[in-house]
Amino acid sequence: MPRVILMGPPGAGKGTQGEILAEAWQVPKIAPGDIFRAEIKQGTELGLKVKSFSDSGRLVPDEVVIEVIESRLRQPDTQVGWILDGFPRTVAQAEALDALLAEINQPYDAVVNLDVPDQFLVDRLLARAIDQGRADDNEEVIKNRLEEYNAKTRPLLEFYGKHVTQIDGTPSMPEVTETIKKFFA
């Protein structure tokens, strides 16, 4: 089963594709955000640490995110494969991930980038915000998230270079899923 780093800007469909593919391939989808929310809900030490960062409006530091990913990748169910969703987000995280994967002998098979134009994402995220009643997701907030992605995460496409497979993320969800599955067939 594949070991995949799933990338793309906010609203590209990473979370949805990650869940669909993880189920189809019977591998875990590993997303730091999901892990953090679960830890906060359970009131664990990690959850309290993460909550203190988010409550003060700060990002969770790289070393904490990397620690969480390392712990998760060392669990037995990851031996068959995995999908990383939302990690790495920076070149520093990618370098730490490469070192970790070498250490645990779990190299990634591919970096899949869901490529979606910014204006398409803005329109998609505004529609999603209206559907879900998320008043905090206005056009300005969405554009700020895209700017942060373009500044901090897009450079990873250069970091991974020839290992990146570009997938058009604008067609329907099932079409995008089929395109990704064909790549791994």
Written in H, E and C, the secondary structure of the chain is CCEEEEECCCCCCHHHHHHHHHHHHCCCEECHHHHHHHHHHHCCHHHHHHHHHHHCCCCCCHHHHHHHHHHHHCCHHHCCCEEEECCCCCHHHHHHHHHHHHHCCCCCCEEEEEECCHHHHHHHHHHHHHHCCCCCCCHHHHHHHHHHHHHHHCHHHHHHHHHEEEEECCCCHHHHHHHHHHHHC
Q: Position of tokens 């907030």?
A: 141
Question: What is the pLDDT tens value at each position of the chain, 185 positions in all?
Answer: 899 999 999 899 999 999 999 999 999 999 998 999 998 999 999 889 888 887 877 778 899 999 899 989 999 999 999 999 989 999 999 999 999 999 999 999 999 999 999 999 999 888 888 888 777 678 888 888 898 898 889 999 999 999 999 999 999 999 999 999 999 98
Residue 60 annotated as part of some ligand binding site: yes
User: According to the annotation, is 3 in a ligand binding site?
Assistant: no
Task: Calculate the alpha carbon distances from 176 to 51, 89, 94, 142, 179 in Å.
Answer: 34, 22, 25, 23, 5
Q: Is 61 annotated as a binding residue?
A: no
89 assigned ligand-binding residue: yes
Q: Of the listed 74, 128, 154, 181, which one is catalytic?
A: 128
Active-site residue (options: 3, 29, 72, 89): 89
**Catalytic site includes residue 145:** yes
Which one is catalytic: 3, 14, 29, 72? Answer: 14
Do the annotations mark residue 87 as ligand-binding? yes
Question: What per-residue confidence (pLDDT) applies to 94?
Answer: 96
Annotation says 3 is catalytic: no
pTM of the model: 0.88
CA 45 to chain CA centroid, Å, is 23
